Structure 1
């Protein structure tokens, strides 16, 4: 169900190490969760402090992977998925919270956001890059074990259960947003309040750059053949803002003249067929933003626009119309980009 990648940094490429950038900012970067991360901090930082912070960041990534990764057999969520049980199962508070948020977005997105779509994702071959068009009989068989409404969560008690023990929960469509938030929280706890955190294209910015200017983020044109800037956002909200973008245009395959997106509708078991190519969500909580961008990408441009207004979400939609890309911004998004007095 995961999308990737679309928000890009205007400052260019980061080097994969910790260093001073030469402009009064400190950069930390590396690899984690099967992707890369880049962190910019306003102000110079002594080497010993940088090294200590880098170690804490790496430890945070490792802790999240041990709990949320569907690609590690020893992770907590993988162990949960192997349990052939419909009983309540104690889980880490992080997992309970992510499932609770996912259920809320599921209910407010016409059931289009669903953490249990893994059997469909596997069936279409997106999990292992072995794409194929399954039969309707195969799709129906997978759909029998898909449905977020059959997952229950006890947030206060930190436990979850599946009414169908064969169901699997895949957190990949929300875990990266949670990760961005966890790293941002770490920086806050370290007394750092002017930063940009990016993990696999997902971001949160807070405060200002070292030169006092707002952080600037470029949204990529949703074209699979080019890397062009579609729109530049100035992040004037200094208390912290996540920028999450989902797209249909990087992960797809073609068969018999038809294009199949990796964004699957959990109600039909098939890839979406609308014209929405990219969704960018601005939100103070990266976890919610990560869930919403996938949900809105699933429902399509018309319903996404309606939901964005109903939920008062800051959303930028980019969709195809007669061979051209068209932008649609929610009222909350427009207000967020207006110059402040």
Structure 2
């Protein structure tokens, strides 16, 4: 099955030894995409997360267990990344106009002022279903973690239907379980991280015995150039400015698509050296690709080298 959802394309491949009703599965998948969109989308003013963003007070507000769970995961990644990764970066993203067709460089005073409006420490988890803003202007952007959650949610739908062999991909983020009908493993292509190209960088042969998610974040698709300098859409929440290092792509392999999604963004934000140290400390299997001197240079975290169930060619 394939189609469009969450502002991107999706592809789902699956098979089963037992008879399955494809139309029933398609209806369940479509319904789940609609539910997730109404819950997590920052582009819908009627979504749960945007309703929370629009409230300008410090009162506790019910957002549901799913959003609270995502915030808890993000808070842990935020802390482990030294604050580079931050769900409350939305006002900064809007300031740089990365949400439009014409992004632009804001003045330094505006950046400093906007930095006062962000901070994961200003977002309080009240209980399993409620969040509270400590600062009324706080806004939450779930885009760096919502796609991973969506992949996991669609995979869960398939498993509820008794399907044990599948590949679920949304906008390049994916999870596999099992194998193809001919017993061969799923094989995943990792794109060469260069603008304007769609060429093969690596092929990953997925495990057949255990589920695994592969999530990639990159600076090479969304950026703008100004006065000979390139500005990526990956913003460092500590500075208010786009990252300036040579790291252009991070691919994370993890059993949990939500963790993989958040960590791929966080490690990309940190850059190669700090990112590798953090990935090793947090046991995150990650492939780093830098663009240096017109060449692509790869580095792998120790946990990725130790991940024997995954073959990378």
Asked if TM exceeds 0.5, the reply is yes
| Structure 1 residues 147 and 237, CA gap change in structure 2 (3 angstroms) | farther
Partner SS, residue 27 of structure 2: helix
The Cα of 1:338 is off from its aligned counterpart by 6.2
What's the C-alpha RMSD, in Å, of the aligned pairs?
Answer: 1.5
Residues 196-252 of structure 1: CA deviation (Å, up to 9, x unaligned): 000111000001111101111011111002111111111125221110000000000
Residues matched between the structures, number? 311
Q: Which moved more, 1:36-45 or 1:120-129?
A: 36-45
C-alpha separation between the residues in 2 aligned to 1:236 and 1:262? Answer: 33
C-alpha separation between the residues in 2 aligned to 1:168 and 1:64? Answer: 19
Report what 1:204 is aligned to: 175
Residue from 212, 218, 224 that aligns with 1:247: 218
C-alpha separation between the residues in 2 aligned to 1:297 and 1:45? Answer: 42
Q: Does 1:134 align with 2:112?
A: no
Q: Which residues in structure 2 correspond to 1:1-341 (within 5 Å)?
A: 28-43=1-16, 49-156=21-128, 158-337=129-308
**Contact between 2:207 and 2:309, CA under 8 Å: does it hold in 1?**
no
Larger RCO, structure (CA 8 Å, separation 6 or more): 1
The Cα of 1:183 is off from its aligned counterpart by 0.5
**Contact between 2:215 and 2:260, CA under 8 Å: does it hold in 1?**
yes
**Contact between 1:42 and 1:208, CA under 8 Å: does it hold in 2?**
no
Partner SS, residue 21 of structure 2: helix
Residues 297-321 of structure 1: CA deviation (Å, up to 9, x unaligned): 0000101111111111110000123
**Contact between 1:41 and 1:195, CA under 8 Å: does it hold in 2?**
yes
Residues 33-75 of structure 1: CA deviation (Å, up to 9, x unaligned): 11111000134886x8111100000000111111111111111
Partner SS, residue 231 of structure 2: strand
Partner SS, residue 116 of structure 1: coil
Which ranges in structure 1 are unaligned for 5 or more consecutive residues? 1-27
**Contact between 1:96 and 1:154, CA under 8 Å: does it hold in 2?**
no
The Cα of 1:322 is off from its aligned counterpart by 2.7
Partner SS, residue 254 of structure 1: strand
The Cα of 1:333 is off from its aligned counterpart by 1.2
Which ranges in structure 2 are unaligned for 5 or more consecutive residues? none
C-alpha separation between the residues in 1 aligned to 2:69 and 2:275? Answer: 24
Partner SS, residue 243 of structure 1: strand
TM-score by length of 1: 0.88
TM-score by length of 2: 0.96
Partner SS, residue 306 of structure 2: helix
C-alpha separation between the residues in 2 aligned to 1:311 and 1:339? Answer: 19
C-alpha separation between the residues in 2 aligned to 1:101 and 1:52? Answer: 32
**Contact between 1:100 and 1:155, CA under 8 Å: does it hold in 2?**
no
**Contact between 2:212 and 2:253, CA under 8 Å: does it hold in 1?**
yes
**Contact between 2:235 and 2:269, CA under 8 Å: does it hold in 1?**
yes
C-alpha separation between the residues in 1 aligned to 2:16 and 2:194? Answer: 36
